[in-house]
Amino acid sequence: MKILLTAKPGTTSLVKTGNWRESHYPEIDHEKCIGCGQCELACPEGICFKTGEQNSKGKFFYEKDLDYCKGCGICAEVCPVKAITMREEKK
Amino acid sequence: METKTYKAPLSHQLNPGHSACAGCGMIVAARLLTDAIGPNSIMANATGCSEVTTTQYPMTSFKLPWIHSLFENPACLATGIAAALKKQGKEDINVVAVGGDGATFDIGIVHLSGMWERGDNVLYVCYDNEAYQNTGYQTSGSTPLDAFTTTAPAGKNSFGNPTRKKDMIKIALAHHVPYVATASVGYPIDFINKIKKSLTVKGPKYLQVYVPCVPGWGSEPKDTMTIAKLAVQTGYYPIVEYIDGQLTGKMKVNKKEPIENFLKLQKRFKHLFKPGAEGELKKWQELCDNNINEFGLM
């Protein structure tokens, strides 16, 4: 029996869900970030990630991808050092 | 200020672009699960939000082999996959079945019971959001006492759902399932550790993870993790782990939170804060206290 793939792996990445954001987007303060990765674990879109860049304290800070961010604000809630602020979007 | 635009490397086993609501708890659990089991796995999915939000034809968010059949079928599908892999000598591949609480507690319980009885080498993960949220918030076997659902609305003569949540953990234990555990998406490291640990156990494994639902529970998207943590810290949702029927792990309640702090964040319980509902709040507090005493959580 031959089984055919009906969908190519990971193809929903073509859908940029960033336009779902209603009013706020997260802004990450690189200097405050301690690189703990709590935002990465909690992000429903899985688009908080370690950048590989260091701040002045030598911490590898995190960033988000606004192409997909739906603006839920979970990252700002779970951040233990309040490095993430939800800012009003200028449209 | 200089601004730089960052692009995510899309390194997870579950890609973004899915249509889960902003602040969805289930999709966090799904991503943590797929990353923990890794690409050398096959996933069988029940019908529900976890299926419709991730696999809108002709697209899929999953990077690992994934199959969906009927609502009640993830356990049967996984049984067949595990049997085929055994025949081919490929038993190093993880077979994982997933379903929501509707698929697990109600519609698929017959097949799940069969899978447990046969002792198939499958990890079954239940995303527990306490109702049929995908079809419009109807009561399931997992819906807790007094929750407002569209089939058990609260009003003059009712406080919402009149029955208590079905205890699937005890049902699994009654089947002598070698690995049975609960987790909460509010504690992702604990959830990941349990997935990895369960895969080292041969035979059926049952893992039930608590996942808040923003539209169904009437909560704020940002509060998803807060609610998932409060459910544990009030004693309402005990995080436990059983290996071969023995209680081998439990998450301690550090400082017992009053149950009101958990209930007030969700509109499905707002009728419990009106005059005349004090008795219901007392029932809730008793339920939490019983859990804390039963499992020795403090």
Token pair, residue A31, equals: 């200097």
B232 neighbors A84 (Cβ within 8 angstroms): no
Q: How far is CA B78 from CA A52, B95, B209, in A?
A: 39, 6, 19
Token pair, residue B234, equals: 């009030």
Query: What pLDDT, on the 0 to 100 scale, is given for residue A91?
Result: 65
Tens of pLDDT, residue by residue over B70-122, are 999 999 999 999 999 999 999 999 999 999 999 999 999 999 999 999 999 99
Q: Which residues of B, range 64-83, sit inside 8 Å of A by Cβ?
A: 64
3-state secondary structure of B242: strand
pLDDT by 10s per residue, chain A, length 91: 777 778 899 999 999 999 999 999 999 999 999 999 999 999 999 999 999 999 999 999 999 999 999 999 999 999 999 999 999 988 6
Q: What is the radius of gyration, based on Cα positions, of chain B?
A: 19
- Mean pLDDT computed over B273-293: 95
- Mean pLDDT computed over B209-231: 97
Q: Show the domain range for A40.
A: 17-88
Closest-CA residue to B292 (of B228, B238, B218): B238
| A47 vs B contacts (CB less than 8 Å) | 8, 16
Query: What pLDDT, on the 0 to 100 scale, is given for residue B166?
Result: 96
Q: Quick check: is A30 in a domain?
A: yes
Nearest residue of A to residue B30 by CA position?
Answer: A44
Closest-CA residue to B142 (of B123, B160, B129): B129
Q: How far is CA B17 from CA A69, B39, B199, in A?
A: 9, 19, 29
| B23 vs A contacts (CB less than 8 Å) | 44, 70, 72-74
Q: Quick check: is A9 in a domain?
A: no
B83 neighbors B93 (Cβ within 8 angstroms): no
CA–CA separation, B294 and B59 (whole Å) = 46
B185 neighbors B211 (Cβ within 8 angstroms): yes
Tens of pLDDT, residue by residue over B254-272, are 899 999 999 999 999 999 9
Nearest residue of B to residue A18 by CA position?
Answer: B17
Indicate the Cα dihedral angle B23, B24, B27, B32, nearest 10°: 60
Nearest residue of A to residue B39 by CA position?
Answer: A9
Q: Quick check: is A2 in a domain?
A: no
B222 in reach of chain A (CB within 8 A): yes
Q: Quick check: is A12 in a domain?
A: no
Please give, rounded to a whole number of angstroms, the shortest distance from the CA of A34 to a CA of chain B.
Answer: 18
3-state secondary structure of A25: strand
A35 in reach of chain B (CB within 8 A): no
Q: Which of A19, A25, A38, A47 to mutate to test the interface with B (most CBs of B within 10 A)?
A: A47
Contact A12 B226 (CB under 8 A): no
- CATH of residue A40's domain is 3.30.70.20
Q: Quick check: is A43 in a domain?
A: yes
According to CATH, the topology of domain B25-295 is Rossmann fold (3.40.50)
pLDDT band at B189 (very low <50, low <70, confident <90, very high): very high
Contact B18 A12 (CB under 8 A): yes
Where do the structural domains in chain B lie, given as residue ranges?
A: 25-295
A74 in reach of chain B (CB within 8 A): yes
| B189 vs A contacts (CB less than 8 Å) | 41
CA–CA separation, B158 and B155 (whole Å) = 5
- Measured N-to-C along each axis, helices B109-118 and B74-87 cross at an angle, to the nearest 10 degrees, of 30
B196: Cβ contacts below 8 Å, ≥ 6 apart: B36
Residue B1: pLDDT over 60: no
Q: How far is CA A3 from CA B65, B67, B149, B214, in A?
A: 12, 12, 41, 37
B84 neighbors B122 (Cβ within 8 angstroms): no
Q: Quick check: is A81 in a domain?
A: yes
Class of residue A56 by CB neighbours under 10 A (exposed 0-12, middle 13-18, buried 19+): exposed
Structural domain tally of chain A? 1
Contact B61 A10 (CB under 8 A): yes
B1 in reach of chain A (CB within 8 A): no
